[in-house]
Amino acid sequence: MSEGRTTSGPVADHAVAADAISAARRLPHAPIAIVGAAAVLAFLPALGLPAFYDSLLYLILSWIVLATSWNIFSGYAGYFSFGHGAFFGTGLYTSATLMARFDWPFLWTLPAAAACACLLGVALGAVVFRVKGIRGEVFALLTLAVTFVLGTIVGNTPLDGGSGVSLASVPIPRIGPTPPATFYLLALAAATLALLLSWRIAVSRLGAGLFAIHDDEDAAEVMGVPTFRYKLAALAISCALAGLAGGIHALFLNYVTVGEVFTIAVPLTVVLMSVLGGTRHWAGPAVGAVIITLLLYSFTAADLAVAGKAAVGVILIAAILFMPDGILPRAQRVFPRGKRPPLARAAVASEAPRTPAPAATVARGDVLLRARGVAKSFRGVRALAGVDIDVRRGEILGLLGPNGSGKSTFINLVSGRLVPTAGSIVFEGRELTRCAAYRIARAGVARTYQIPRPFRHFSVLDNVALAAMFGGGGAAEPAAARRDAMTWLAFTGLQDKAHAQPDELNLHQRKFLELARVLAARPRLVMLDEVLCGLTASEMDDAVALVRRIRDQGATVIFVEHVLHAVMAVTDRVVVLDYGVLLAAGPAAEVMRRPEVITAYLGQPYLPGHPPDTELAERPGA
């Protein structure tokens, strides 16, 4: 195994880095290609090549397994892990211990190696993923620490004892004509399994959810992605494959020591391979593994091992500067296979002319959402102070108030982004205060953001398809979700931008993209957080008309806005908050004439000889 140095950076060219859902479908025959290539390679030992070639090919395939397994979690979900050596080492020592101490046959130890590594990863993830602050660099350092802690434990227990584990007496199964051929065939089977899993995940709901977590985890969960479960599933698969590779490598090494296993070399090398090939493509790590392994071997064979490591460092720097998205995305840009995948063209042809049919008449008047005594404090700062709000089915309710009055906090509480300090929020008879955000989304609640938060590496179409896949509508498969997404893009007038990247849209279009995403989830309650902010007068008119059409589709709308003429034109009722307290509620025209509401927006009137209200002047932020 070789050592390299790497780092990571964001994808620089969004227009070229196609979203993973579309890119994966550009090779619908990928499983056939993987299995076909494996079948051809399986015949190589029959050619009677020198054992050296079997061993070299084994190393290449072993690194493919490790790099691909790392990418399934870290590349797809964006949680960079430097602990892959721990999972690889767990599998290696599990296999070595079972063979040396308990006389297990080699092949029987491989499932145990994968299972032990998987259990370690799941145990780690079950704890770490519940702490939202452990992301990015903190997560990377934590996983690196796990590698060294585990190595210390193994080296100071009977598992190793500091002297290593010898496997010289363990028989090698006769799978191939020679022992090197046997290891080569086992690694080929493991690499085939890893690539098939990587491809399948990339084109599935799990893959779509993982890529959304990579771009914006909080927005993904509010949209309905079960982030905790998806991250744990990806980590389990990643660790199991790493453990399998470690189990095979144990007998290949013949003598196992902690110092050569639990090191920084394995995680750094697999990170380099994945980044070089392209982390958002299922085959990227395999490409990187082939290049780096052959490069290191060529320098080692020439007795220039140190120069080889230096060359790897130079390649890493060049890749970050000139190919930050990896080799495969760059190759797709140079040799495009058409701007639209076949599924997308079919979606445009079949769905673009359609617009959603008006929903059946909604029984209006009964309470859809009831909030009682809802309070939220942030380290002593009171954002909401026990507000009571009813949202009636089928209405457009304006939620008003000055900046800092608690409007966005209320939306965050209803959507599950925040947990209330006190109070109750009931939606259609279901208590929401302790529900995970993704469960609330699937129950029929959707929201937009003041500043649009599209998934930047997804196309416009796949941004909306993600909502269709995970929202209350729950489209079963990505293909159905994309067809549904085209309907809502046509509804919001964005069908011509379906295959653009979010960065190519102006603010007006990005706001409407948020609305299309909300509608694709087919919610019963839509919360619009300042959708008119930053729009021109004509764009505001378009947005107001669209809000009415959203209500006509059968949704109830909470409309948070500062543009009062729009509020007066579109809302049935308004609720006014001030300093986290419910100030007034009722018809818009009536509420906006109340003196306390005018004071909240414009301040205390001041006349010469009449000083302002002392109590008002002393309020924080006044």
Q: Which amino acid is at 437?
A: A
Task: Return the number of other C-beta atoms located less than 10 Å from residue 172's C-beta.
Answer: 16
4 contacts: CB under 8 Å, gap ≥ 6? 265, 268, 269, 272, 292, 309, 312, 313, 316
Is residue 484's pLDDT more than 50?
A: yes
Question: Three-state SS for 11?
Answer: coil
Is residue 611's pLDDT more than 60?
A: no
Is residue 21's pLDDT more than 50?
A: no
Is residue 546's pLDDT more than 60?
A: yes
| Angle ∠(490,492,494) on CA atoms, nearest 5 | 65
List of domains in the chain: 20-334 (1.10.3470), 367-617 (3.40.50.300)
390 contacts: CB under 8 Å, gap ≥ 6? 367, 369, 370, 371
What mean pLDDT is predicted for residues 473-484?
A: 76
Is residue 620's pLDDT more than 70?
A: no
Is residue 233's pLDDT more than 70?
A: yes
380 compared with 400, residue with greater pLDDT:
400
Q: How far apart are CA 374 and CA 335, in angstroms?
A: 56
Q: Is 241 exposed, middle or buried (0-12, 13-18, 19+ CB in 10 A)?
A: buried
The torsion angles phi and psi of 447, rounded to 5 degrees, stand at: -145, 160
Is residue 553's pLDDT more than 90?
A: no
- Per-residue pLDDT, 619: 41
Lowest mean pLDDT among 122-126, 233-237, 339-343, 572-576: 339-343
Note whether 143 and 239 are within 8 A (CB).
Answer: no
Note whether 83 and 146 are within 8 A (CB).
Answer: yes
Q: Which two tokens stand for residue 332?
A: 């797709």
Is residue 17's pLDDT more than 60?
A: no
Cα 615 to chain centroid distance, Å, stands at 48
Note whether 30 and 199 are within 8 A (CB).
Answer: yes
Q: How far apart are CA 396 and CA 391, in angstroms?
A: 9
Q: Which two tokens stand for residue 78?
A: 């964006």
- Per-residue pLDDT, 351: 43
* DSSP conformational letter for 530: S
Is residue 455's pLDDT more than 60?
A: yes
Range picked from 25-39, 108-122, 263-277 for highest mean pLDDT? 108-122
The torsion angles phi and psi of 448, rounded to 5 degrees, stand at: -110, 175
Element (H, E) at 78: none
Note whether 117 and 90 are within 8 A (CB).
Answer: yes
Q: Is 606 exposed, middle or buried (0-12, 13-18, 19+ CB in 10 A)?
A: exposed
What mean pLDDT is predicted for residues 442-460?
A: 93
- Per-residue pLDDT, 364: 66
148-169: per-residue pLDDT in tens?
Answer: 999 999 988 888 877 889 999 9
Q: How far apart are CA 34 and CA 11, in angstroms?
A: 27
Q: What is the mean pLDDT of the chain?
A: 85
- Per-residue pLDDT, 479: 80
Residue found by looking up tokens 């500062």 in the block: 562
What mean pLDDT is predicted for residues 545-549?
A: 92
Tell me the CA distances in angstroms from 555 to 146, 362, 364, 522, 558, one per residue in order. 48, 9, 11, 8, 10
Element (H, E) at 382: strand 381-392
Helices (H), 254-326: 258-261, 265-277, 284-301, 305-322
Nearest CA among 12, 22, 6, 17 for reference residue 478:
22
Q: How far apart are CA 512 and CA 603, in angstroms?
A: 34
* DSSP conformational letter for 450: S
- Per-residue pLDDT, 220: 95
Task: Return the number of other C-beta atoms located less than 10 Å from residue 233's C-beta.
Answer: 19
- Per-residue pLDDT, 476: 61
Q: How far apart are CA 543 and CA 116, in angstroms?
A: 54
- Per-residue pLDDT, 16: 35
Q: How far apart are CA 77 and CA 198, in angstroms?
A: 13
Strands 422-427 and 430-431 come out as: antiparallel
Q: Which two tokens stand for residue 609?
A: 């000889």
What mean pLDDT is predicted for residues 132-159?
A: 87
Model confidence at 593, in pLDDT bands (50, 70, 90)? confident
- Per-residue pLDDT, 605: 59
The torsion angles phi and psi of 165, rounded to 5 degrees, stand at: -125, 120
Note whether 228 and 416 are within 8 A (CB).
Answer: no
Q: Which two tokens stand for residue 82?
A: 């430097």
463 contacts: CB under 8 Å, gap ≥ 6? 454, 455, 502, 513, 517
Range picked from 245-249, 306-310, 489-493, 520-524 for highest mean pLDDT? 245-249
- Per-residue pLDDT, 85: 92
Q: Which amino acid is at 269?
A: T
615 compared with 147, residue with greater pLDDT:
147
Model confidence at 29, in pLDDT bands (50, 70, 90)? confident
17 compared with 382, residue with greater pLDDT:
382
272-302: per-residue pLDDT in tens?
Answer: 999 999 998 999 999 999 999 998 888 877 7
What mean pLDDT is predicted for residues 600-621?
A: 52
pTM (predicted TM-score): 0.87
- Could you tell me how many residues make up the chain? 622
Percent above pLDDT 70 for the chain:
86
Is residue 560's pLDDT more than 70?
A: yes
What mean pLDDT is predicted for residues 307-336?
A: 78
- Per-residue pLDDT, 244: 97
Q: How far apart are CA 615 and CA 577, in angstroms?
A: 18
Cα 288 to chain centroid distance, Å, stands at 23
- Per-residue pLDDT, 329: 79
Nearest CA among 544, 600, 598 for reference residue 571:
544
Q: How far apart are CA 143 and CA 80, in angstroms?
A: 9
- Per-residue pLDDT, 28: 60
- Per-residue pLDDT, 307: 79
What mean pLDDT is predicted for residues 108-135?
A: 92
Nearest CA among 167, 161, 168, 186 for reference residue 176:
186
Tell me the CA distances in angstroms from 248 to 46, 55, 104, 239, one per residue in order. 21, 13, 14, 14
Q: Which two tokens stand for residue 33?
A: 């290609």
